[in-house]
Amino acid sequence: MNKVRTAKVATVDELKAKVEGTSTAVVTVYRGMTVAQISTLRRQLRTLDADYKVFKNTLVRRAIEGTPVAPMEEFLVGPTAIAFVNGDISAVAKALRDFARATPTLVVKGGVLDGKALNLNDLTALADLPSRDVLLARFAGLLASPLSTMAGLLQAIPQNFAYGLSALIEAKGGTVTPAEPKDEVAAETPAGVEEAGSPASDDDATEVVDVADETAEAPSEPETPEASNDAETPAE
């Protein structure tokens, strides 16, 4: 009697430890399965970081009361074996589904995930999802894609600038002539207007000489004699 009680207490303590370690579990009915089949399934699930074991429903109810996995109590009917999942729930659901197809005596009833009960349809949907590693790889690819695109754009900026500069040099005949610095002090002089005090050109000097010569050579007009008051008066 004491041995039985001690075994039950040990089982409850084991269940409590598993519940404290994970909030995800899948409940199955193993009626009709052989010991060899259960052992094979246990090994497969162990590679997915899930612990699969047969428990009595009364002890499971006692151990899960008030814990995050308490919603799975509704599935504790019939000979029960529970897979406590520490890894990817979708991978475990897929492994159980595939094993049940090959071994019809295994019946997947439901489970719990983070305090929420999962029915058979929920587990089937999880089984159809890609594995956690595949999802992480796809997510990493999505994150890396914009970064690689940005890196390509940043690399193209100096390249495009170099191509544009080369085209500008070719358009200028092979060289780019720098602009001459302007004299900030001297003001610009309008075309055709000479600055005050600037020396006249040779053409301007010649024109002045020609005008002076023409003035000197021009004959003067004869002077008209004025009537003299001393002119003799004709005799009367």
123 found inside a domain: yes
Domain boundary among 148, 171, 194: 171
Q: What is the pLDDT of residues 16-75, one digit of tens each?
A: 888 888 889 999 999 999 999 999 999 999 999 999 999 999 999 999 988 889 999 999
The predicted pLDDT at position 118 comes to 93
Whether pTM exceeds 0.75? no
Tell me, yes or no, whether 45 and 91 share the same domain.
yes
The predicted pLDDT at position 209 comes to 44
Question: Whole-angstrom distance between the N-terminal and C-terminal Cα of the chain?
Answer: 201
Domain boundary among 103, 129, 155: 129
Residue 163 has pLDDT above 60, yes or no: no
| Structural domain range at position 134 | 130-171
Alpha helices in 47-86 (DSSP H): 57-64
State the total domains in the chain: 2
Tell me, yes or no, whether 140 and 112 share the same domain.
no
Phi/psi region, residue 33 (left: phi>0; alpha: psi -120 to 50; beta: rest), is beta
> What is the CATH number for 19?
3.30.70.1730
Is residue 97 within 8 A of residue 108, CB to CB? The reply is yes
State the DSSP code for 72: G
Tell me, yes or no, whether 111 and 138 share the same domain.
no
Residue 205 has pLDDT above 50, yes or no: no
Tell me, yes or no, whether 85 and 166 share the same domain.
no
Report the chain's mean pLDDT, rounded to a whole number. Answer: 74
Residue 212 has pLDDT above 50, yes or no: no
